[in-house]
Structure 1
Amino acid sequence: MESGWFGMFVFHGGALLGGCALDWLFGDPRWLPHPVRLMGRMIAWLEGLLRPRFLGRERAAGLLLAALMCCFWTAVPGLLLAALGGIALHLPGWAGAYFLLAAESLMCYQLLAAKDLCGESMKVCRSMEKGDVEEARRSVSMIVGRDTAPLDGSGILRAAVETVAENASDGVIAPMLYIALLGPVGGYLYKAVNTMDSMVGYKNDRYRELGRAAAKLDDLVNLV
């Protein structure tokens, strides 16, 4: 195995390819604990913990929430990989490298959502091809956050295209970029920021101040 920075990039690239293959084969089984769902629960718990303690200082609460999420979801994958690396060092020959590659591939797999995005969006496409607008409306309601009841056929298609474009960035392209650059730790950090933005990054009375840090951070990590 190559050593140094080049070897690290090659190794992360191999793990990313393995993660992509696993995602396309298996998608996101509902029975499998998923890190994004855990992130969502952690964000909700932190919001409930911090809000009453930062009354009138929601922006400070939002900064602390973002800092805690980023630290936790950088440290935990990093420590897990360090522990797995320690195990790999005690395996004979190339077995250690293959063990660590398989572990990284599994971690990358949980950060990608290409198969589910394709499958859910194609349900809308097939329904529209059949001319079944009601079925298409039900299908698109599963992948968008807006009220789909008033949408006609063209509105359903626009909603589907918009959500595919957005989720292709959030669930496929951006995680792949951060994994390629920083390994699974970079991917988990990105997903933590993106999940925060999807939950609290709104310009409404409830989240305008609390979600400001998360929204700005999401803008930053998606700038590229």
Structure 2
Amino acid sequence: MRLEYQILIAIILDFVIGDPRWFPHPVKLIGRFALFMETPLRKALRNQRLAGTMIVALVAAVTLLCAYGLILVAGLIHPLAADIVSIVMLYTTFAARDLAGHSMDVYWELKNDNLAAARRNASLLVGRDTEHLDEGEVVRATLESVAENTVDGVTAPLFFAVIAGPLGAILYKVVNTLDSTFGYKNERYREFGWASARTDDFANYIPARLTALLIPVAAAILGFKPLDAFRILFRDGRNHPSPNSGLAEAAVAGALGVQFGGLNYYFGRPSERPAIGDPLRIMNRQDIVRAISLMFAVLILSAVLFL
């Protein structure tokens, strides 16, 4: 089966069934393996940056070997079996349905005036502390997560799938998972997580910029603010600790006419982020629905562009 058909079927599968909890998702297995290898590598190598670099190489190599082996064995059984395995692998790298579902969980709890539940649901989307957020801060956290994860869970896996097939998409998820696991700037991971964070920055460099340019197009289609999306993208896209995340956030903020950034807390420690966007209005829970519609529009546009 041609690669573009495999990718299209995988996208449809993600849209229809999302990420069932009973399914042994590769990201969970990758994360567990990485955590399992952390202590041995830390003990074996004094240089923590080197240990962190080795864990990136090790987890990537083992994951690629397993993925390639599965496709190879399936192909020996029947070519169709190899196609099915490839499609399932590709499907596991997309997270549009899951991102939309978690975000809508926040929306519905806010609509039902259940702020405590909305905070808990928001904690599944973001790394910041959520237990003391007010409604506006919960909305902001959710919107920022949708913007950032439009790259991580939608366009970047698609980009690498087109370039290198299922193995390329799986390799991207390895990089992204390692960054989520170790890429923290705290005392424990500042050195050990350096390679994971830098590799993720490198992998997302092109997808983040393509996504940021597609968001204004999606905004025009949906009747939002495409010109403001472009303006804020180029003005505020670098107002973020990450060289990539701020781009999509800036484009989404401009498209919706809201402002991101401000004070966040991570593990009880304050982190002041520069403003992204203009506060043309106070953001509200309906913006979550708008951001999700932008994400799906970008998915369709990127599929048309890449495939």
Scaled by the length of structure 2, the TM-score of the pair is 0.63
**CA distance in 2: counterparts of 1:149 and 1:194, whole angstroms:** 26
Pairwise CA distance, 1:61: 0.6
The structure 1 residue matched to 2:179, chosen from 156, 172, 197, is 197
1:17 has 2:8 as partner: yes
Does the 8 A contact of 1:14 with 1:101 survive in 2?
no
Q: Deviations over 1:113-157 (max 9, x none)?
A: 111111110122223334443332232122222211221111111
The equivalent residue for 1:4 is none
**Any idea what SS the aligned residue of 1:222 has?**
helix
- Aligned equivalent of 2:68, options 71, 78, 90: 78
Counterpart of 2:165? Answer: 183
SS of residue in 2 equivalent to 1:110? helix
Name which of 38, 51, 72 aligns with 1:47. Answer: 38
Question: Quick one: distance in 2 between partners of 1:27 and 1:45?
Answer: 27
Deviates more, 1:192-201 or 1:160-169: 160-169
Structure with greater proportional strand content = 2
Corresponding residue of 2:21:
30
**4+ residue runs over 3 A deviation:** 129-132
Unaligned runs of 5+ in 2: 207-307
Identity %: 41
- Secondary structure of residue in 1 paired with 2:205: coil
Alignment check: 8 A CA contact 2:70 2:85 kept? no
C-alpha deviation, 1:174, in angstroms:
0.8
Q: Mind listing any 5+ residue stretches in structure 1 that lack a counterpart?
A: 2-10, 89-95
Aligned equivalents of 2:48 and 2:81: distance in 1?
45
CA positional deviation for 1:44: 0.5
What's the CA shift for 1:79? Answer: 2.3
Q: 1 or 2 for the larger relative contact order (CA 8 Å, sep ≥6)?
A: 1
SS of match in other structure, 1:182: helix
Q: Distance in 2 between matches of 1:179 and 1:42?
A: 23
CA distance in 1, matches of 2:192, 2:124: 27
* 1:1-224 mapped onto 2 (5 Å cutoff): 11-55=2-46, 57-88=47-78, 96=79, 98-224=80-206
Using the alignment, how far apart are the partners of 1:181 and 1:44 within structure 2? 29
User: What are the superposed Cα offsets for residues 96-120 of structure 1, whole Å, 9 maximum, x if unpaired?
Assistant: 3x44332221111111111111111
> What's the TM-score once normalised by structure 1's chain length?
0.86
For 1:32 and 1:84, locate their aligned partners in 2 and report how far apart those are by CA, in whole Å: 19
- CA root-mean-square deviation: 1.6
Distance in 2 separating the partners of 1:46 and 1:197: 15
